[in-house]
Structure 1
Amino acid sequence: MEIKAGKNIAIKVPHYKWTETVAYYRDKVGLPVKKELKASVGFIFGEMTLWIDRVEQQSQVDVWLELFTDDPDQALKHLGSPQRDELEPLDDVNGHWTSDPAGVVLLVRNE
């Protein structure tokens, strides 16, 4: 079983800081916008997409990372991390939400 970096990084931002944070990455850092949604903007970040997500009931910033594997269930056991699938719906994604020892949220999923 192999675990490797995914294609997405998400910064979960409180509502009151979202517009300012999007403008920072777009206007000051100069990242090109890849996709805009109602509460999320994706920027081209090298070979990855950096998502700035607006979270209505949040008071602090979180960084969420994506990991790819061919067996998400086995990867979760290997990592010894808690299953946290209540964080966000996974819809058609074959994977699990978990977190590292420092609390960084990880999506461990099929590519």
Structure 2
Amino acid sequence: MANSDLTFRGGRNIAMKLPPHQYEATIKFYRDTLGLEVKQTSENSHAVDYGPIRLWLDRCVKTSQAELWLDIGTNDTKAAARHLAQKDVVRCDAIEELPQNFDGYWITSPAGVVHIVSGYEDSGAI
């Protein structure tokens, strides 16, 4: 690693991207079957405080099966981008739009799991 001060840590967010035909049943599973508090955050998103993790349940019209997306924080997103590029990590920024001025971007692991990489200040903000 070129920058020995660069650090990564797991974030507290996991997003479950769900096709419409699984969305309501999944909300009911967490709320009614498991008894967890499920909060609607937008028309197509609910949040579940899942221990120290926040589980986002997102309705995704163009998805045919559920996917899990993970959150990774870093102290320097620009240095992290260079480091990840050197390690041949695939950037996939077009997968979902991020808020303007958000310090982060999307990558995929070798197994195709989507991760949001964000600065510690923005980690957990999505």
- Unaligned 5+ segments in structure 1 are none
1:18 counterpart residue number: 23
Percent of aligned pairs with the same amino acid: 36
Q: What one-letter code is carried by the residue in structure 2 that aligns with 1:51?
A: W
Structure 2 residue aligned with 1:54: 59
Deviations 1:41-94 (A, max 9, x none): 000011221001000121011100011101123223333311111011112311
1:100 aligns with 2:109: yes
AA of the residue aligned to 2:117: V
Q: Secondary structure of the residue that 1:22 maps to in structure 2?
A: helix
Q: Superposition pairs for residues 1-111 of structure 1, below 5 Å?
A: 1-79=6-84, 80=87, 81-91=89-99, 92-111=101-120
> 1:71 & 1:82 partners in 2: Cα distance?
18
The TM-score with structure 2 as length reference comes to 0.81
Structural RMSD (CA): 1.3
Aligned length: 111
Instruction: Give the deviation of 1:21 after TM superposition.
Output: 0.6
Query: Who wins on radius of gyration, i.e. which is larger?
Result: 2
Whether the 8 Å CA contact 2:27–2:38 is kept in 1: the answer is no
**Rounded Cα–Cα distance in structure 2 between residues aligned with 1:76 and 1:22:** 35
- Structure 1 stretches of 4+ moved >6 Å: none
Structure 1 stretch displaced more, 37-46 or 73-82: 73-82
Q: Give the Cα–Cα distance (whole angstroms) in 1 for the partners of residues 105 and 22 of structure 2.
A: 28
Give me the TM-score of the superposition, normalised by structure 1: 0.91
More strand per residue: 1 or 2?
1
Residues 30 and 38, structure 2, Cα contact 8 Å, conserved in 1? no
